[in-house]
Structures are given as C-alpha cells and as structure tokens.
Amino acid sequence: MINIDTQIQHWLEGSREKWDVACELIAHKRIRHGLFWAHLAPRIHNLARLIDLAGLEIDLQTKDFLFEINKFNLVGRYSEHQGPVPNSASAKVIMSRVEEILQCLIRTL
C-alpha cells in the first residue's frame, strides 16, 4: 500500500530540487531550460489540471498564466516546439509567478 506521507515528502524534496535547478539556470541566462525545470517543480505538469485537482479557486488571469507556461514543458523536451525564448526580465516575472503558485500548492498539503 502506498504511504501518502512518504509520497508527499518525496514530491516536496523533488520539487525543491527542481526549483533550485530552475533558479540556477535562469541566473546563468539559460532561460529556456530554466523555465522547463520551473515547470517540472509541480507534481503534475499540466499546471491548470493540477490546480483543479487540488480544488483551489484561482482567478482567470492565473488560470490563463498556467495554460501559457504549460508550453515550457514541450519547449524544454522537443526542439520542434521551440519558439522565441523569453528575455531575462520576462523570465524573472514568470519565475516569480511560478514560485507564488508553487508555494500556494505546498501550503495546501
């Protein structure tokens, strides 16, 4: 039988590690890959679906943001999906919003 507390702890540790990698990559101007790792920090990679599963109420602007950053999952994995890379300022804004949402998810545990 799966131990839920063990699973939660495993996710939290993995999430923190992925977040740290994302921050390091962004700091070194490796924006495409940094945003990919930021996207991996939550347990489920369809972020809008994750919010629904968590039963969180979010505003339309946040939901639109989640749909928008879902693309970083594809961009980081498949070269044919690569579009323009956000500049450093945009990446910082994205990272700030992702961190805010990630902390919200952690608080719901």
Please tell me the predicted confidence (pLDDT) of residue 32: 87
More confident residue, 32 or 44: 32
Topology, domain 4-107: Four Helix Bundle (Hemerythrin (Met), subunit A) (1.20.120)
Please tell me the predicted confidence (pLDDT) of residue 62: 87
Mean pLDDT of the chain: 83
Rounded Cα distance between 90 and 49, Å, is: 24
How many CA within 13 A on the CB side of residue 21?
15
Q: Which two tokens stand for residue 68?
A: 């928008």
Would you list the domain boundaries of the chain?
A: 4-107
Residue 78's alpha-carbon distances to 73, 82, 84, in angstroms, are 9, 7, 14
Per-residue model confidence as pLDDT tens digits over 33-67: 898 898 888 767 677 787 787 788 888 898 888 88
Please tell me the predicted confidence (pLDDT) of residue 69: 81
pLDDT at 99 over 70: yes
Q: pLDDT-derived band of residue 91, with 50, 70 and 90 as boundaries? A: very high
